[in-house]
Amino acid sequence: GFSSKVKETADTFVLYNIQEGMTPERIAQEVYGDQQYFWVVLLFNDLMDPQYRFPLRSKSLDDFIAKKYPSKTLFLSPEGTTEEFYKHPNPTDTSIKNFAEGDTITLYLGKKNSYKDTGQDKVLGIIKRYIPEQSALQLYQLEGTIEPGDTIVRGHNKELRAQVRKVIDSRYAVHHFENNSVNINPLGTPPDDIGNQVPIGQTGDGFSSLPVGVTQCVLDNYINDGDTTYIVTNEEYEFVKNETNRKIRLLSPELLENVVRELREVLSQ
């Protein structure tokens, strides 16, 4: 491929913004006058897999998001409370496994310490991703309905339970939190005018006498109060990422003939 020095030297490249529906072949035709030079477009940008590194069309992007973020995301707390974030109930006991990808979850009824896995009210989900920093489970699929206030169990393991605090379609769930395009700590207070936060359990501006509690942090405000001030959803994140992929560098057309000639000389040796 092209060296980093070549790709970063101003007189060796031109900037190009990929428009909707453009392909490497069409870009080569537009910039170099011949679509056979599509490999120059790919090689100059290290696009060995253009299917996923090239910006997707609107319909393809929507399909990609739907596949990557199917079903629902559940935000959790320990059973019986909405004022804490979920954590392993006994991290020193390795016999109790935490939530993990591929696990099933079942609605816990609490009657005779049982769970409901049969009949009309059956609720069974498959975990796609456990997100401990958000106290959340992202699901592959969900049969039935889970609502805030319900208690879920991991598989049929009654020792690992959590209370559901928020349920949302995964594509619209939070990916991360930002303030003025800077990532912020979800377990801290909302940023002040200059972006400062005070983490849970610590003291600081406005919290000089009592440490910050769970209910005062950005993540809790989102989960319990529906505050979307600082969120970037999964859908928004993928859209921005796709737009970023539109901006590429191309080998300057004036250099194309020399590059092709030198390549032919190398290959003929």
Q: What is the pLDDT of residues 78-108, one digit of tens each?
A: 888 777 888 876 767 777 778 889 988 888 7
258 falls in which pLDDT band (50, 70, 90)?
Answer: confident
pLDDT at 158 over 80: no
Give the per-residue pLDDT at 63.
Answer: 95
pLDDT number for residue 97: 77
- Taking CA atoms, 181 is separated from 75, 133, 178, in Å, by 24, 20, 6
Highest average pLDDT, of 102-116, 161-175, 253-267, comes from: 161-175
**Within a 10 A sphere around the Cβ of 13, how many other Cβ atoms?**
19
Q: Is 145 exposed, middle or buried (0-12, 13-18, 19+ CB in 10 A)?
A: exposed
Alpha-carbon distance of 131 to 127, in angstroms, equals: 11
Cβ atoms within 10 A of the Cβ of 124, count?
16
pLDDT value of residue 268: 74
Contact 229, 206 (CB under 8 A): no
5-64 pLDDT, tens digit per residue, is 666 665 788 999 999 889 999 999 999 999 999 989 988 888 766 665 788 888 999 999
Confidence check: pLDDT of 171 > 60: yes
- pLDDT beyond 50 at 112: no
The separation between the first and the last C-alpha atoms of the chain, rounded to the nearest angstrom, is: 18
Residue 110's pLDDT is what?
Answer: 67
Q: According to the model, what pLDDT value does residue 43 have?
A: 86
pTM for the model stands at 0.82
* Averaged pLDDT score across all residues of the chain: 86
pLDDT band at 2 (very low <50, low <70, confident <90, very high): low
Q: Which two tokens stand for residue 265?
A: 């000389």
Q: Is the pLDDT of residue 163 over 70?
A: yes
List beta partners, residue 104: 126
DSSP letter at 131 equals E
Listing DSSP states for 151-182 in one string gives: EEEETTEEEEEEEEEEEEEGGGSEEEEEETTE
Report percent pLDDT > 90 for the chain.
Answer: 51
